[in-house]
């Protein structure tokens, strides 16, 4: 019995990449993180609102949607790198925190820092 195969959770998990199951597991996790979708919907609502007269019921609805997704985006903890990237990109977005929170440091270092965070996170996620 010296050549017996012992299957443990550790050996099974270590073999998942070789089976091609790791990408499927990562895609499953991405599908469960709502933050990227909140960011997408927030941007869509903002863009649509910008194209309407502010005094219309449709404009009011779009603004409410924008605010709803902004709150969800800011209060939901990301569970994937894609969710974290979406939240960092929100910080950079001119209608997100960008124009309010950034640009206060010498040579715009705060904005450069956050831009580097996004670039680094995207490279790590690739």
Domains of the chain by residue range: 22-125
Instruction: Kindly list the distances between the CA atom of residue 61 and the CA atoms of 52, 58, 94, 96, in Å, as whole numbers in the listed order.
Output: 11, 5, 21, 19
pLDDT digits (tens, 9 = 90+) for 20-79: 444 444 444 446 899 999 999 999 998 988 888 778 888 888 889 989 998 998 899 999
* pTM of the complete model: 0.65
Q: Work out the widest C-alpha separation in the chain, in whole angstroms.
A: 80
Q: Supply the DSSP string of 47-92, one letter for each residue.
A: HHHHTS-TTSHHHHHHHHHHHHHHHHHHHSPP-SHHHHHHHHHHHH
What pLDDT is stored for residue 11 in this prediction?
A: 42
pLDDT digits (tens, 9 = 90+) for 78-93: 999 999 999 989 888 8
DSSP 108: G
Asked whether the beta carbons of 54 and 83 are under 8 A apart, the reply is no
Structural tokens at position 70 = 């902004």
Asked whether the beta carbons of 62 and 52 are under 8 A apart, the reply is yes
């Amino acid at each position: 019995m010296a050549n017996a195969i012992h299957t443990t959770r550790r050996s099974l998990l270590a073999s998942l990449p070789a089976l091609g199951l790791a990408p499927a597991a990562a895609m499953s996790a991405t599908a469960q993180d709502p933050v990227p979708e909140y960011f997408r919907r927030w941007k869509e609502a903002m863009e649509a609102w910008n194209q309407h007269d502010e005094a219309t019921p449709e404009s009011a609805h779009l603004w409410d949607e924008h605010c709803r997704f902004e709150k969800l985006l800011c209060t939901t903890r990301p569970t994937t790198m894609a969710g974290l990237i979406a939240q960092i990109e929100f910080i950079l977005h001119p209608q997100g925190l960008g124009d309010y929170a950034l640009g206060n440091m010498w040579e715009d270092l705060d904005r450069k820092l956050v831009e580097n965070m996004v670039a680094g996170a995207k490279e790590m996620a690739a």
